[in-house]
């Protein structure tokens, strides 16, 4: 996933990423619109999650969402989008929690 000829900052980011088994690791991605989707967890990092989705519709940089992963509810903000060779999209979310306020709580 990570090339080794990156800038030192990029190397540190790669070293802090932990790939997940796409057949075993799933999360629930709940957008502020209320739509919930089961997604594949591509990787974990020290500050977030990489999630794979089939469609990009409705996702834009800076979008807030809620992710439920391993029973924990995380506040998340979309930081990067990368199209994969298989046509899916890797969404990089910065996450806070599991004890942070839910972004959907503000709507309720």
Phi, psi of 73 (to 5 degrees): -95, 125
51: nearest Cα among 103, 105, 107, 31 = 31
Q: Residue 21 to residues 24, 41, 44, 62, 69: CA-CA distances in angstroms?
A: 5, 8, 11, 27, 14
Structural domains of the chain sorted by starting position, each given as residue range(s) with its CATH number in brackets: 19-96 (2.40.10.220)
pLDDT tens-digit profile, the chain (108 residues): 444 343 444 544 554 566 776 677 899 999 878 889 999 999 998 889 999 999 888 889 999 999 999 888 999 999 999 999 999 999 999 998 774 444 444 443
Phi, psi of 67 (to 5 degrees): -120, 130
Q: What is the pLDDT of residue 18?
A: 64
Taking the whole predicted model, whether its pTM rises above 0.85 is answered as no
């Amino acid at each position: 996933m990570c090339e080794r000829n990156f800038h030192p900052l990029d190397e540190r980011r790669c070293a802090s990423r932990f790939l997940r088994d796409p057949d075993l690791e799933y999360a629930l991605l709940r957008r502020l619109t209320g739509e919930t989707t089961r997604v594949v967890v591509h990787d974990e990092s020290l500050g977030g999650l990489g999630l794979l989705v089939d469609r990009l519709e409705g996702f834009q940089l800076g979008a807030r969402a809620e992710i439920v992963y391993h029973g924990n509810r995380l506040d998340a903000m979309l930081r990067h989008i990368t199209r994969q060779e298989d046509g899916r999209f890797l969404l990089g979310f910065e996450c806070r929690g599991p004890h942070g306020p839910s972004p959907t709580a503000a709507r309720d």
